[in-house]
Amino acid sequence: MVQKPQSQFKHTSVKANTRCVGLNRNSDRGMPYETIYGASMIRFIPLLIVFCTALAACSPAPAPVHLGPDGKPLPKLYRISPSDAGRIEYNVLDSVNALRYAAGRNSLTLNAQLNAAAATHSRDMSIQNRPWHFGSDGSSPIDRVRRVGYQNHLVGELISETYETELETLGAWAEDPVTRTVLMSREATEMGFAWHQESNGKIWWTMVLGAPANYTDVR
């Protein structure tokens, strides 16, 4: 798989019930001014050198630059800490709703059950080392939302294997016609969003959208 944290992106979606899954010489002493000035500079330069050397010795060493095989600096890894969870969830929710508002769609709310289903699948994709919509036990997106007690309608599931941030990932979903279809569903009212990050920095993102039980697929 990926051996360095370059900007890579694998994403897909599944829709429920479908397969889309800067010279002066004058001088009062008869000496050209520039000679006096020059002598002053000759005395000053060694002092300046000593000062700069001492200053350099006190300065911290620059951070090492890690280069990839192509000789270019590697991008800094995006690390997620446990304290980031709430911030990430609501950043994504607000961003999704901004996109939906611009497209004339209703806003979504976070649903704890859909969050749980998304978290389960993100961990499972990491175990399988594969970005797809089936669990290691053969479960489908519908199976996973039912297991966490979600009784409303599953609209769709978006997934990604990447080193990118949540908003970069959302941006990619919004640009791709297939994943955008799920993201902009007219009937979706609820959203679940979760992730699993490996020690090498790779992140497995999952978003699940749901709708009322009387859902009608109108896009």
Give residue 193's identity as a one-letter amino acid code. Answer: F
pLDDT at 119 (0 to 100): 98
Distance CA 51, CA 70 (A): 39
Using the structure block, give the residue that is written with the tokens 């630059």: 65
pLDDT at 62 (0 to 100): 62
pLDDT at 22 (0 to 100): 37
Domain ranges for the chain, please list them: 9-19+82-211
pLDDT at 3 (0 to 100): 42
pLDDT at 42 (0 to 100): 46
pLDDT at 70 (0 to 100): 75
Contact 100, 174 (CB under 8 A): no
- Which ranges of the chain have pLDDT less than 50? 1-8, 17-48, 218-219
Distance CA 108, CA 170 (A): 15
Q: Half-sphere exposure of 187 toward its Cβ, with a 13 Å CA cutoff? A: 17
pLDDT at 73 (0 to 100): 73
CATH number of 9-19+82-211: 3.40.33.10
